[in-house]
Structure 1
Amino acid sequence: MPPEPLVGMLALPHEFILLGIGGLILVAAWLPVLIKRLPLSLPIIFIALGFLLSFTPWLRTSQTAMTHDPTLEHLNEIIVLIALMGAGLRLDRPFGWRRWRSTWLLLLVVMPLTMIAIFVAARWGLGFSIAAAILTASALAPTDPVLAADVQTGPPREGEDGETRFGLTSEAGLNDGLAFPFVLLALAVQAGTLDWVHWSALQLAGDLAVGTLIGWLLGAGAGYLMFRLPSAKLSETGDGLVAIGVTFMAYALSVLIHGNGFIAVFVAALTIRSTCPDDEFHTAMSDFSGQIERVLMAMVMLLFGWAIGRGLLSALDWRGAAIAVALVFVIRPLTTLVAFHWSGAPVMSRHLMGFFGIRGIGTFFYLQYAFNRADFAERHAIWAVAGATILLSIVVHGMTATPLMAKADARRERRLARESGG
């Protein structure tokens, strides 16, 4: 039986719905100022509000519908895409194989090791099928570009923010694209239609190549229209909405020709950012993307809190809880220390990049995408483990991001001051 549609879920008059949406937008805009120096984050507050909402009769739907509704799948997809564009626009460091060494270590060493560890834990610790274990690993391995704003780089044109913020931002920009082929692998295994040559050559390597090409071409074209067109440049509008247009075009065009849309969006953002990098329009696009992302994120966190109150974690046992704790406190930190052992990166940066492996909305999208296309017997258990991991990550990382990153930023400023003074 298909899940109950989102339309009509709210048992409130139309005017009250508008009142709630307006209040949500105002709170999402205001709260960052209020909690700027507090060990709190916007997601924590909206999860708490959503949890309280679950005890009211205002939202009338089942928890199953909330975790499988196609509308929510597309909502999470859009949030991730906007976050990827924003991440690419904020990176001031030019692309380069050596300059991006931290990124490659996080993507090519930390993420695969994390996936293997989660797969083993899910397969033999929880007794999942191979397909379910692959899905759990692919959904939980990548860090989230949406919920990691406090540990990522600042606005464009403000200079380097240090290795920690750069590494976490660039990793979050690319790892969604690398994780998605493994979601497709899980679906193929579940359906019994896996063809290793087709998956590795087309869905992995081929899709990545096509997505990269589309992102570069569209980014180069958009960059020309924004900054180099002889007359009527797009940047002269000052309208950051342009970034959203490029985001949707890059993703849709790439997916239509069987490319990796997540990679296409991030590569397009990097290509645009490299075009006239000192132009103020980069900041306008980044700011607008961030505003839209923040409002949509608040909505999803509200629904996440509601789902927790309605039993999202009811299938969680001590083994699933142990996996969630291990991922946040052991697996991600340990694999990062291993990957960066001979890297020469500052010790504090290694520890912070390992600790702030934030999980979030990307995981929601992967699971909704998979469960809307195949039936997994372990569906409730996977949601419970994923939900517990995300909740733990949001609370722990949300409460520690402000003080730890402030300490790291202060240490970096002192080091730069000593170097400039010498």
Structure 2
Amino acid sequence: MLKLFEGPSIIYTVLGLVVFAAALLPRLLRRAPISMPMVFLAAGVLAFALIDYLPTPDPVKYETATTHLTEVCVIISLMGAGLALDRPIGWRTWSTTWRLLAIVMPLCILVFAVLGYLFLGLGIASAILIGAALAPTDPVLASEVQVGEPADGEEGFDREDEVRFGLTSEAGLNDGLAFPFVYLAITISLAGAGASSLSWLPQWFAVDVLWRIGFGVLLGYGTGKLLGRLFFSSRRESFRLSNHSEGFVALAATFLAYGVTETFEGYGFIAVFVCAITIRAAERDHGFHRVLHSYVEQLERLLSVVILVLLGGAIARGLLETIGWTDVVLALVLLIIVRPLAGFIGLLGGPPGVREKVALAFFGVRGIGSLYYLGYGLSNGQFDAEANEVWAFVGLVVALSVVLHGVTATPVMLTLDRLRSRKAGKDDRDSNVHV
């Protein structure tokens, strides 16, 4: 009987309950103003506050483990996002995405960095790192405002409303496109006093911008084309994996695209997403995409639960102990004012209506991608003096984003869906009258 109350027994029991909760909560909370990330973040806070013998999940102390765990979660999420998109890529069809990437994200990075420098007292390198880490919309924690599973041929393009499509495609690409700014922060931190000479600028632009982005796109596309043929067009029946319900090959595609691209110093995040949309384009209406997406989604959910519980544990054990009112106010400004305003400016003149523009601008969710970028930047640059402060602020912003966007996502999206359905019904009635 006493064995029930021993540490390992309790941990295994809690793990089992957590996994069951990860399976049930998305259905139970479907129409509630509470998100799954909120529940598991709170669970992590409670667990580590009440169970003393659990080791402290300090992201500074366990920097390497933090970086790799979040890295795996993000690339798996990127594969799922790419497979879920029904809309063929194009200049006009993806115009909302291009605006979010080319205008909104750089504007957010700039303003976030300036505010961090002015109000947090950070150095230029640390301020840029915070801007690069917090600007991208997260592909993991934004599931409530993203498209669902891949549609079949009967549903297709019209299923993707502009808000869900825009946020999903933005999250798929901006994680990779923010990387040059992470490298910019690393480069400035390593240059130290010599950073003002700008002698590092040509190499940064040639390697970290042109080379790495170019190879990310190229190798992602090449891997996707190769795997698309293997999945759907192979002459040998045993190699045509679309004839078999083996969803775990999505994991192989994810690691292959990421590993090959990183080997050639390209951006693996970009490669994984490009690989996914290329595989989807190979046979757009095939049911195998749902099998692949379902497997990736389940794995992503499990990993995100682990990371959220650990983040909650870090908060319970003092991650935010250096946070003051200035930090809290600035974090809220970033979430409630800067991203929404930058988003609305970037979308002016674009195809979405006003309500859709507001939703697209507001739901720039911060999450696990931010934690990865921060861990990567701190482990590769010289930020030792400010590491704890930077982790505390980014952890605060992510936690606030989980709560703020978790509370608002379901009500807002349900309202937009009702309005869209009402408009579609009115258009159908008007067309019948004219006929």
SS at the partner of 2:178? helix
- For 1:315 and 1:326, the matched residues in 2 are separated by 19
Q: 1:65: how far off?
A: 4.8
Residue equivalent to 2:132 = 138
Out of 62, 70, 74, which is 2:68 matched to? 74
Question: Is 1:30 aligned to 2:30, yes or no?
Answer: no
Residue equivalent to 2:249 = 242
- For 1:64 and 1:416, the matched residues in 2 are separated by 48
Question: Is 1:311 aligned to 2:298, yes or no?
Answer: no
- For 2:251 and 2:298, the matched residues in 1 are separated by 11
Residue equivalent to 2:208 = 203
Name the aligned partner's letter for residue 327 of structure 2.
G
Residue equivalent to 1:126 = 120
| C-alpha contact (below 8 Å) 2:59/2:66 kept by paired residues | no
Out of 11, 15, 18, which is 1:21 matched to? 15
| C-alpha contact (below 8 Å) 2:56/2:317 kept by paired residues | no
Residue equivalent to 1:396 = 404
Q: 1:214 to 1:325 in 2, by over 3 A?
A: same
Out of 214, 217, 225, which is 2:222 matched to? 217
Residue equivalent to 1:6 = none
Q: Deviations over 1:59-80 (max 9, x none)?
A: 12363556x4312211100000
- For 2:93 and 2:406, the matched residues in 1 are separated by 29
Residue equivalent to 1:252 = 259
Q: 1:12: how far off?
A: 6.4
| C-alpha contact (below 8 Å) 1:114/1:335 kept by paired residues | yes
If you compute each CA radius of gyration, which structure gives the higher value, 1 or 2? 2
Q: Deviations over 1:299-344 (max 9, x none)?
A: 1110111111111111112222122101110001111111122224
Residue equivalent to 1:226 = 231
Aligned residues: 411
- For 2:300 and 2:6, the matched residues in 1 are separated by 26
Question: Is 1:150 aligned to 2:144, yes or no?
Answer: yes
Q: 1:17: how far off?
A: 3.8
TM-score normalised by structure 2 residue count: 0.91
| C-alpha contact (below 8 Å) 1:323/1:385 kept by paired residues | no
SS at the partner of 1:61? coil
Name the aligned partner's letter for residue 59 of structure 1.
L
Residue equivalent to 2:423 = 415
The RMSD of aligned alpha carbons is: 1.6
- For 1:418 and 1:85, the matched residues in 2 are separated by 37
| C-alpha contact (below 8 Å) 1:12/1:58 kept by paired residues | no
Q: 1:220 to 1:65 in 2, by over 3 A?
A: same
- For 1:16 and 1:237, the matched residues in 2 are separated by 39
Segments ≥4 residues shifted beyond 6 Å: none
What pairs up with 1:4-19 in 2 under 5 angstroms? 14-19=8-13
Q: 1:385: how far off?
A: 1.6
Residue equivalent to 1:385 = 393
Residue equivalent to 2:41 = 47
Q: 1:180: how far off?
A: 1.3
- For 1:103 and 1:416, the matched residues in 2 are separated by 24
Q: 1:71 to 1:12 in 2, by over 3 A?
A: farther
Q: 1:64 to 1:149 in 2, by over 3 A?
A: closer
Name the aligned partner's letter for residue 220 of structure 1.
K
Q: Which moved more, 1:139-148 or 1:404-413?
A: 404-413
Question: Is 1:87 aligned to 2:91, yes or no?
Answer: no
Residue equivalent to 1:345 = 352
Out of 290, 304, 325, which is 1:283 matched to? 290
Q: Which moved more, 1:251-260 or 1:232-241?
A: 232-241
- For 2:145 and 2:82, the matched residues in 1 are separated by 15
- For 2:358 and 2:391, the matched residues in 1 are separated by 29
Q: 1:48 to 1:267 in 2, by over 3 A?
A: same
| C-alpha contact (below 8 Å) 1:356/1:397 kept by paired residues | yes
SS at the partner of 2:376? helix
Residue equivalent to 2:361 = 354
Name the aligned partner's letter for residue 102 of structure 2.
L
| C-alpha contact (below 8 Å) 2:60/2:388 kept by paired residues | no
- For 1:17 and 1:120, the matched residues in 2 are separated by 43
| C-alpha contact (below 8 Å) 1:215/1:266 kept by paired residues | yes
Q: Which moved more, 1:226-235 or 1:83-92?
A: 226-235
- For 1:13 and 1:309, the matched residues in 2 are separated by 19
Name the aligned partner's letter for residue 340 of structure 1.
L
Residue equivalent to 2:338 = 331
SS at the partner of 1:54? helix
Name the aligned partner's letter for residue 322 of structure 2.
A
Structure 2 spans left out of the alignment, 5+ residues:
none
